[in-house]
Amino acid sequence: MGRKGYQLLVISRDVLLLAEHSPLESGIFRALANLTRKGCHLLLTAPEPDKWLPTRGRVDHVLTAQSRLQKGIQECGGDLDGVYYVPRSLFTQDRNRRGALEDIMRRFGVSAKQTLLVSNSAPFLKAADGLGIETREVPRGDSAVDVLAKTITTLE
C-alpha cells in the first residue's frame, strides 16, 4: 500500500489519459505500478459510452485507450484492476455516481477510509466526499498532468 494506507486508488480515466505522451508519463506510470506492487488496487472510472461501437471492422477507441493505459502500467511492472464504466442518465446521474462508488468499494472489500479518488469531475468528487472517501482534484487545463504527477508520487 501507499504511504497513506490506501488499499484502493480510483482515478478518472480521462485524467490518466491526459498524461499520455507528456514528459511526466513514465514517472506517473512507474509510481502507479509501484503502488500496485505494494498491494494497492488501481481502478479507473469513466462515463459509460453513449454507444459501444462494434469492434469488427472498426476500432473501438474507448477500449483502445483502456488497453494503452493498461499496457503502460504493466510495462512498469504494475497492474490495472480494470475500468468501471459509470452509467449515464439525465435524471439520476448523482445517484449513479454515488452508487458506482459504493459498488466499487463493495467489490474490492474496502471502506471509504481506505479509498482515494483522483478526478477532475466536481460532481464525482462531491459524491465521493459525501461517502467519506478522500479525494484529490486534478484541475482541467495545462496544469492537470503536473498535479496528477505530484498527487501520485506523494502516495508512494
Strand runs labelled E in 54-150: 82-86, 115-119, 134-137
Q: What is the pLDDT of residue 1?
A: 47
Q: Grade residue 155 by pLDDT with cuts at 50, 70 and 90.
A: confident
Domain spans of the chain?
Answer: 8-155
Per-residue model confidence as pLDDT tens digits over 55-85: 554 446 667 888 899 999 999 999 999 999 9
Nine cell digits for residue 86: 459509470
Averaged pLDDT of the chain: 88
**3 state SS of 28:** helix
Q: Grade residue 7 by pLDDT with cuts at 50, 70 and 90.
A: very high
What is 8-155's CATH superfamily? HAD superfamily/HAD-like (3.40.50.1000)
